Structure 1
Amino acid sequence: MEGAALLKMELPVNRALSARYDALIASGEIKEDPVQREAVRHLDLLNTRLAETRLASKKSSLGWLFAKKKNQLWSAVKGLYMWGGVGRGKTMLMDLYYEVTVIQRKRRVHFHEFMTDVHERIHEHRQAHKRGEVKGDDPILPVANQIAAETRLLLFDEFSVTDIADAMILGRLFTQLFEKGVIVVATSNVNPSNLYKDGLNRQLFIPFITMLKSQVEVLHLDSPTDYRLEKLAGAPVYVTPLGQQADTEMDRLWTKLTHGMKSHAEELENKGRKIPVPCVASGAARFSFDNLCMQPLGASDYLRIANAYSTVFIEDIPVLSKARRNEAKRFINLIDTLYDNGIRIVVSAEAEPQELYTSEDGTEAFEFDRTSSRLIEMRSEAYLAGERREIHA
């Protein structure tokens, strides 16, 4: 049976993810991987447990008298924390699981975006308290109540804690969420024991790690193969000149890298502003040059993108002159940030790197020499497999 047809079939809950994984193997999109297969087994078991718990909770849904019992039923379900290096298939597995989970009240979100939302809710509660609209000045319980009312299953991409403001509220917030029966499935580059490593006042964060590990199964995706590198190795990740052939090649590389997964648009939060991301799939993001360099974006915005995606497509990069120095400056900042964080890029450009900036004088001309050099390095297999990716991990 063709993979696409198999994907559309209704299959038993206890092997729904396995069927989709098998379909991708049959279609040639991915290769069989025993480490990924073990993750699929864990996720199918979780889906089965969720289906059983949903049925049991419906039987006891006789109003508020049984709310506590229902929460206890859901709290007994352990989620899953999958961690490992870039390119091990974490995002692909999350894509597939999001499709098949039996839970309707589900939310998939980058962990940084989730925490931004939490801080906004906390701020709103405090403002409402100042206006006398709500009682109690502690916002954690009402915020947890809001989240739990909206979401039964939280799916986190890139679970990582680097901010002390996040670290200080996570323990109290997730104590409430877990008690209310919220289940967590997360991907991360970091072993949960190393979350917020070397962070300020980390000893205060250790109880959260202990609690998290009690609420999730921890699975290390330690496959020796970096599949994202495998798909890009030998590929023309710098496509020039622009035109129909370049567009076709970019489409081909995108489909290959994302396993043909359906893409979607999303927004990233950064310092109260939103960064539109027009195309996202399987942990990769796809932008045009105009999206990134014709908009008022700065280094912190590019860092936000680097922290969210391990591979970035940049299309239709034009040759730049001194008359477009603002766009050139943004492009320099963009490439510096992606390079410094070891992010893999696939680009289509009007010319080779050393020919992308035509002016020979001014600060941008000097800085663009570095950009050209980095673009050349970033298309090499040495960079794609290099140590710089460890910065991002």
Structure 2
Amino acid sequence: MSMIDQIYARKLEEGHLRPDPAQQAVLPEFERIRAALAQPVKRGLFRKAPEAPKGLYLWGGVGRGKSMLMDLFVETVDVPARRVHFHAFMQEIHAAMHEARKTGVDDALAPVAASVAQSVRLLAFDEMQITDITDAMIVGRLFEALFAAGVVIVTTSNRVPDDLYKDGLNRQLFLPFIELIEDKMVVRELVSDTDYRQDRLSGGEVYFTPLGSTARAALDQVWDDLAGGPGEPLNLAVKGRTVTLPAFRNGVARARFFDLCGVPLGPADYLAVAEAVRVLILDDIPCLGRSNFNEAKRFVTLIDTLYEAGTRLVASAAAAPEMLYLEGDGAFEFERTASRLREMQSEDWWSDPS
């Protein structure tokens, strides 16, 4: 039994996992990479470094356990490795290229890619999705440089490679990247009938009121169930601004009402949030009215954006949706927002695969 098989079996015995043939079927791919990375690198003037193994592109529906399997895999490797959300990684690359340009280099990507390659042998990306043309135009050259340097890449995605950047601007320039993925990585689909993320909240409460320690503890439990560990801040660059989600992991983000509605954000910012996360846990929605009219307007825009994107929402609030906004300009219009908040609590909303 391989190391990853052993860890998976122990998780089953401890009750942390349920047997899933689809998950078990892809374990050998992770073990293949782990065993190759474990081979000693021979030293010497004429010793050639071992060829890097092919990486893994694991795709499938939301909540099937892709991120969980990748986490198990990263725990087993004994080489410099980094596990990071793909969107956050690309934001770092853009920021590093911006700094490199200040030095006057002709190709800002080259030193950035070299720096990444020097720091890791394994990159584990969570939720690869490419919707931004600036990402689309550099990701091919970036991955080509990393592969050439011997970096192994493992990634999860909700899309088959052919659907990456689908219908994007100048997509024909992006197609060589798809060919690169299929050449340098094994593409596997995780075909499971079970959405474990949905199962954890199936029939459960996702809107907690009133505010207080009980609601906060409930959201803490939801975070533990869905994110599966401590989160890290996720910084989203939007038209020269930075939108920060204080905690992010496995497609789940957590923020306070003030973080997203107490600062001057607009539709483009909320769209970036909706595109980056699958579930948003929002703490401390207050009662709304004349005293916080601007915050209320932003909250309406946020909910509209999450609703249109199909993003799942878990929240704590001072009152039920219909009682949040009782007076002041916009109270009548808020009825639509209250209706959407109700719909976003429904089992149908959470079971919809969109």
Unmatched 5+ residue regions in structure 1?
1-11
Aligned equivalent of 1:116: 91
1:244 aligns with 2:213: yes
Aligned equivalent of 2:177: 208
Aligned equivalent of 1:382: 348
RMSD over equivalenced CA pairs, Å: 2.2
Whole-Å Cα distance in 1 between the matches of residues 160 and 313 of structure 2? Answer: 26
1:177 aligns with 2:146: yes
Whole-Å Cα distance in 1 between the matches of residues 251 and 28 of structure 2? Answer: 22
Aligned equivalent of 1:98: 74
Out of 230, 243, 249, which is 2:199 matched to? 230
Equivalence map 1:1-393=2 (5 Å) = 14-15=2-3, 17-52=4-39, 55=40, 57=41, 59-60=42-43, 62=44, 69-70=48-49, 73-75=50-52, 77-104=53-80, 106-129=81-104, 134=105, 137-258=106-227, 261-271=228-238, 272-359=240-327, 361-362=328-329, 364-386=330-352, 389-390=353-354
Unmatched 5+ residue regions in structure 2?
none
TM-score by structure 1 length?
Answer: 0.83
Classify the secondary structure of the residue corresponding to 1:128: coil
Classify the secondary structure of the residue corresponding to 2:110: helix
Shift of 1:109: 2.4
Which structure: greater helix fraction? 1
Q: Please tell me whether the aligned partners of residues 282 and 315 of structure 2 are also in contact (alpha carbons under 8 angstroms).
A: yes
Shift of 1:179: 0.9
Q: Please tell me whether the aligned partners of residues 91 and 236 of structure 2 are also in contact (alpha carbons under 8 angstroms).
A: yes
Aligned equivalent of 1:5: none
Change (3 A) 1:47 1:232: same
Give structure 1 regions of 4+ aligned residues with deviation exceeding 4 angstroms: none
Q: Quick one: percent identity of the two aligned structures?
A: 45
Change (3 A) 1:238 1:82: same
Whole-Å Cα distance in 1 between the matches of residues 71 and 294 of structure 2? Answer: 37
Q: How many residues align?
A: 353
Shift of 1:235: 0.3
Shift of 1:294: 2.1
Residue by residue over 1:262-282, the C-alpha shift from the partner in whole angstroms, topping out at 9 and shown as x without a partner, is 313223231344433333343
Whole-Å Cα distance in 2 between the matches of residues 96 and 266 of structure 1? Answer: 22
Classify the secondary structure of the residue corresponding to 2:102: helix
Whole-Å Cα distance in 2 between the matches of residues 97 and 198 of structure 1? Answer: 33
- Larger mean Cα displacement after TM superposition, 247-256 or 185-194: 247-256
Residue by residue over 1:106-144, the C-alpha shift from the partner in whole angstroms, topping out at 9 and shown as x without a partner, is 222222222233233333333312xxxx5xx23333332
Shift of 1:74: 4.1
Shift of 1:342: 1.0
Whole-Å Cα distance in 1 between the matches of residues 139 and 216 of structure 2? Answer: 44
Aligned equivalent of 1:4: none
TM-score by structure 2 length?
Answer: 0.91
